[in-house]
């Protein structure tokens, strides 16, 4: 069985990837400050990716054929207020890992590498981030491309799942309390079902080909449009969802690019699997939750 080492194993994306990939690989996953609850099929190690010596010794001892690098500081406001810390984790941490061995290196990146002025960015579009988060993630991409002989840069967008703190969980929490809330009509992305993302990334590993991939939902959608679809799928009233136009000045001040949607056509063709639209993605989550608990 091939060995995969996943960083960010205590995070939303890394933990889901660890579970998913453990079906086909021997999986090691790292955490930094938050030890995850153990789960079968995944061996956890503590690792601060900014510690170059520790990265080198952990990677050398695990000797994986594949590294999936999902650890990052991804809180856009925190990164803006702490650019040095963001750079140390998102750039230096990535370089430490990318230079640690000659495994196939899969870097989980983001739609924030684009400026968001027009949306539907293809894999070949020129990135021009304006947030510290976006700039450091883009520099991470550059480090990977210069340090690894075989690598995949996998950009995704607005991951949703029932994980604690996730946008979907927050919207459902608000609905359950019967709260009427406002959702932005002028902030767009390519909302991505987490399970679908894991399957896409599994295909990228199977393919083993160097390149840039857009692993995201197939639909450009506003926060408002997303909230309406959540209401429909989970059978809450649409009256709980109000439209709110932020406007350019507030978007800028709140570090919310206008349109970060990703064009996935090329990656979908290359990987040969379905990339979900929002209705399909939400329906899958609802069905899984219903099957597990009876109801949510």
Contacting positions for ligand NAP (CB under 6 A)? 7-8, 10-14, 31-34, 47-50, 70-74, 89, 93, 108, 110, 137, 156-159
CB of 1: closest distance to ligand NAP in angstroms?
Answer: 24
CB of 75: closest distance to ligand NAP in angstroms?
Answer: 7
- Closer to ligand NAP at the Cβ: 11 or 281? 11
**How far apart (Å, rounded) are the C-alpha atoms in residues 224 and 243?**
6
CB of 227: closest distance to ligand NAP in angstroms?
Answer: 16
- Closer to ligand NAP at the Cβ: 13 or 240? 13
Q: Closest residue (Cβ) to ligand NAP?
A: 11
Residue 31 — left, alpha, or beta (φ > 0 → left; ψ -120 to 50 → alpha)? beta
- Closer to ligand NAP at the Cβ: 78 or 238? 78
- Closer to ligand NAP at the Cβ: 41 or 247? 41
- Closer to ligand NAP at the Cβ: 129 or 175? 129
Residue with tokens 């690598």: 151
In terms of C-beta distances under 8 Å and separation of at least 24 residues, what long-range contacts does 222-227 make, across chains too?
222/183, 222/184, 222/185, 222/186, 222/187, 222/188, 223/183, 223/184, 223/185, 223/187, 224/183, 224/184, 224/185, 225/278, 226/158, 226/160, 226/167, 226/171, 226/183, 226/191, 226/278, 227/171, 227/181, 227/183
CB of 8: closest distance to ligand NAP in angstroms?
Answer: 4
CB of 3: closest distance to ligand NAP in angstroms?
Answer: 19
């Amino acid at each position: 069985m091939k060995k995969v080492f996943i960083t960010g194993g205590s995070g939303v994306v890394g933990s889901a990837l660890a579970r998913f990939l453990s079906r086909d690989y021997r999986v090691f996953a790292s955490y930094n400050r938050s030890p995850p609850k153990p789960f079968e099929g995944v061996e956890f190690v503590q690792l601060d990716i900014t510690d170059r010596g520790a990265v080198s010794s952990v990677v050398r001892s695990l000797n994986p054929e594949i590294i999936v690098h999902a650890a990052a500081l991804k809180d856009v406001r925190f990164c803006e207020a702490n650019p040095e810390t963001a750079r140390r984790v998102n750039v230096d941490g990535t370089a430490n890992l990318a230079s640690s061995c000659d495994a196939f290196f899969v870097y989980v990146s983001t739609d924030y590498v684009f400026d968001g002025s027009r949306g539907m960015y293809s894999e070949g579009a020129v990135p021009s981030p304006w947030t510290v988060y976006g700039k450091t993630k883009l520099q991470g991409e550059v480090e990977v491309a210069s340090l690894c002989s075989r690598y995949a840069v996998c950009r995704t967008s607005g991951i949703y799942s029932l994980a604690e703190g996730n946008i979907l969980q927050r919207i459902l929490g608000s609905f359950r309390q019967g709260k009427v809330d406002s959702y932005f009509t002028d902030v767009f992305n390519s909302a991505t079902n987490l399970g679908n993302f894991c399957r896409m990334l599994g295909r990228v590993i199977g393919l083993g080909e160097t390149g840039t991939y857009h692993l995201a939902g197939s639909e450009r959608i506003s926060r408002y449009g997303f909230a309406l679809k959540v209401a429909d799928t989970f059978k809450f009233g649409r009256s709980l969802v109000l439209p709110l136009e932020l406007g350019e000045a507030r978007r800028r001040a709140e570090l919310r690019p206008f349109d970060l949607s990703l064009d996935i056509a090329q990656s979908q063709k290359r990987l040969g699997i379905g990339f979900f639209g929002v209705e399909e993605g939400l329906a899958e989550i609802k069905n899984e939750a219903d099957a597990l608990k009876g109801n949510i």
